[in-house]
Structure 1
Amino acid sequence: MFVIKPPAYLNDNVNYHRKKKFFKRFDKRVNNNQTYDLRLIILRHAERVDLVLGESWYDHVFGGVPSAPPQSYQHALLPQALPHRINTLLYVFDPPITRSGEQKSYMKGQELGRYGISVDHCYSSPACRSVLTASAVLEGMNRPSVPIRLEPYLFEPMAWNQPLQMLDTISPFMSTRDWLQAGYNIDRHYQRLNDYLNPTETEYDFYNRSQYFFQSIERRHGGAAAGAGRGFGRSRRSNVLIVGHAATPLVFQHMAFRQPFNAEAFGQQCGNIGFLHTLVLERNATNRTWFMRPIMASA
């Protein structure tokens, strides 16, 4: 003989009341983790060596010799694994970070890791200071296996870099092959958006190429994957590290929140962006609007 018991309602369940606090905490944590489908961790590079030693830093470190001897790379202010270049004079146009900056980049990566932020993909300006920063941050996050994608569209406004304009068609940046030979994990298969940077571009031109890169990131890494079972879909969340210059976090903020762009005001604001300044943007998985994660600040 079967005995039919009355249905047990959840709110009348003794065990539910005992565990109610746990469920609330669990639901809150899961819901917070599921709100975004794309996260961008955007950094300015670390401390530049030329801003520490001054304009004569190249003579002080390399002795003004384009083919400097290996011991020159052992200077106490230089990163421990600064890539060797056949013509060290190009470092005048593409200065590295300091050893202290490299250490702080590693610590920044550790800080991000403590916040539970991971990285699936990494993009960097081709400038030496940005690549070295990106590599150290990934090491600090315990994500050295993530290859760095060199993207010229992440370089600072050309209007702000008169020495680089003097080179005309000569690129001061190291190639993917050069970085690989130096032992850095660079994505050799990445197809850059463009290798050409207009030496006469304006701040508005910079904004346009930055927007093109921003949209390419949304196309490449945004979206949802089809779910299985019971008609539910699951979010495919991507965490992307982007390392550039003082203008990088600010221009991404302008684009994400559709803020008006004024070249003069933008330049003044960039002057307040410190080394390793960090901006974390997350895109809502439902309505695709961007919001800022408030836990990060300048180093």
Structure 2
Amino acid sequence: MSNAKLLQSTWTSCSKPRRVTVIMRSAERVDRIFGVNWCKTEKFMNKVNATDLNMPIDAILHPVLYDFNPPITNIGKYTTQLNARALKNRGIAANIIFCSPSLRCVQTAAAIAKTLGNTARICVEPGLLEPLEWYRNAGAAELPDFFAPHLLDAYGIDKEFRPIFSIEELTDAFAIKNQDQCIQRISLVLRNICGSDRNTSAIVVAHAITMDIASRIGQHGDQIDPQSLDECTSYEEPIYGAQKCGLTSKLEIGVKYPPGSTIGLIRINDAPPYVLQTVTDLIPPFSSGGFSNKVL
């Protein structure tokens, strides 16, 4: 048996990939593994002196460059490539990847694109960014410079893409937008992406909160009989309500949707108003030792 046969997924191919939007949480981040002071502990003579092979040696050890905007680990990159290979074997070879402007999301998107053969456009959509309130609560006085050239130039970002929300809009709203408003923003962006007219599937790389919003959007579709879709002309999409338990809710969502976890939103009808259905077993999870990116 050839190596290609050994690598081929035994899962059935997706029958209508253009209806599928893959939602993936960004890969494992450096600061969660090596601590918030990793730029100092891994530094020697202005270069990365990796104490662990999971540390990316191409990191730029600037004292404030990664504040509130950390990169991904080497393991994060490799698990992302495995995810992308599984999607490709499933017949979901997306030609467009939407991602949050966070560096970890851009790097995750780039790893996917490379595995797919660099044929997918990487489109940075600021509207997918986590709630601005979370940055304020963490001590940020303003948003990080997500679009700094020395951060993004290496990843082949589509500079012609016109996002739904500009980074300027988020910057202007940094001090005033609350969690509820930001969650509605993310929900709006997801619905627009899922409803867009395209010939192939699409991938969204963002945060744990994005995964949770997508899951809740799709749960409504699970309750509709596909045989009765013609009767859904008055279908109104439910509003996703924010949990009121603050930090506890944020931590619970982070545990429920581990780094690199993946779900699907499948459009189960062809004309608006679109009905979306959540699929949690789009591809198999990746597990190693005590780690798994399986959605809980």
- Give the TM-score taking structure 1 as reference length: 0.71
Measured against aligned partners, the alpha-carbon deviations of 1:115-146 in whole angstroms (never above 9, x if no partner) come to: 22110211111111111111112222x23132
Partner residue of 1:216 out of 192, 196, 202:
192
Confirm whether residue 77 of structure 1 aligns to residue 39 of structure 2.
no
Q: After TM superposition, list the pairs within 5 Å mapping 1:81-120 onto structure 2.
A: 81-82=58-59, 84=60, 87-120=62-95
Q: Which amino acid aligns with 1:102?
A: K
Confirm whether residue 277 of structure 1 aligns to residue 248 of structure 2.
no
Checking the alignment, whether the CA contact within 8 Å between 1:39 and 1:237 is kept in structure 2 is: no
C-alpha spacing 1:128/1:289, structure 2 compared with 1 (3 Å)? same
Checking the alignment, whether the CA contact within 8 Å between 1:145 and 1:185 is kept in structure 2 is: no
Separation of aligned partners in 2, 1:58 and 1:135: 23
Checking the alignment, whether the CA contact within 8 Å between 1:250 and 1:270 is kept in structure 2 is: no
Partner residue of 2:134 out of 142, 155, 160:
160
Identity of aligned residues (%): 21
Question: How far does residue 147 in structure 1 lie from its aligned partner after superposition?
Answer: 2.3
Question: How far does residue 44 in structure 1 lie from its aligned partner after superposition?
Answer: 0.5
Checking the alignment, whether the CA contact within 8 Å between 1:37 and 1:282 is kept in structure 2 is: no
Partner residue of 2:105 out of 130, 138, 145:
130
Confirm whether residue 185 of structure 1 aligns to residue 160 of structure 2.
no
Checking the alignment, whether the CA contact within 8 Å between 1:46 and 1:105 is kept in structure 2 is: yes
Measured against aligned partners, the alpha-carbon deviations of 1:151-183 in whole angstroms (never above 9, x if no partner) come to: 111111122224765332x633134x44563x3
C-alpha spacing 1:80/1:148, structure 2 compared with 1 (3 Å)? farther
Separation of aligned partners in 1, 2:71 and 2:276: 33
Separation of aligned partners in 2, 1:264 and 1:163: 15
Unaligned runs of 5+ in 2: 1-11, 221-237, 286-292
C-alpha spacing 1:179/1:92, structure 2 compared with 1 (3 Å)? closer
Q: Which amino acid aligns with 2:265?
A: L
Question: How far does residue 102 in structure 1 lie from its aligned partner after superposition?
Answer: 1.0
Partner residue of 2:212 out of 244, 250, 268:
250
Confirm whether residue 172 of structure 1 aligns to residue 145 of structure 2.
yes
Choose 1 or 2 for highest CA Rg. 1
| Alignment root-mean-square deviation, CA | 2.9
Partner residue of 2:177 out of 201, 216, 231:
201
3-state secondary structure, aligned to 1:50: helix
Task: Give the number of aligned pairs.
Answer: 244
Separation of aligned partners in 2, 1:119 and 1:125: 17
Question: How far does residue 88 in structure 1 lie from its aligned partner after superposition?
Answer: 4.5
- Give the TM-score taking structure 2 as reference length: 0.71
C-alpha spacing 1:73/1:41, structure 2 compared with 1 (3 Å)? farther
Measured against aligned partners, the alpha-carbon deviations of 1:79-108 in whole angstroms (never above 9, x if no partner) come to: 3554x48x4512132111111111111111
C-alpha spacing 1:73/1:111, structure 2 compared with 1 (3 Å)? farther
Separation of aligned partners in 2, 1:160 and 1:120: 32
Partner of 2:282: 295
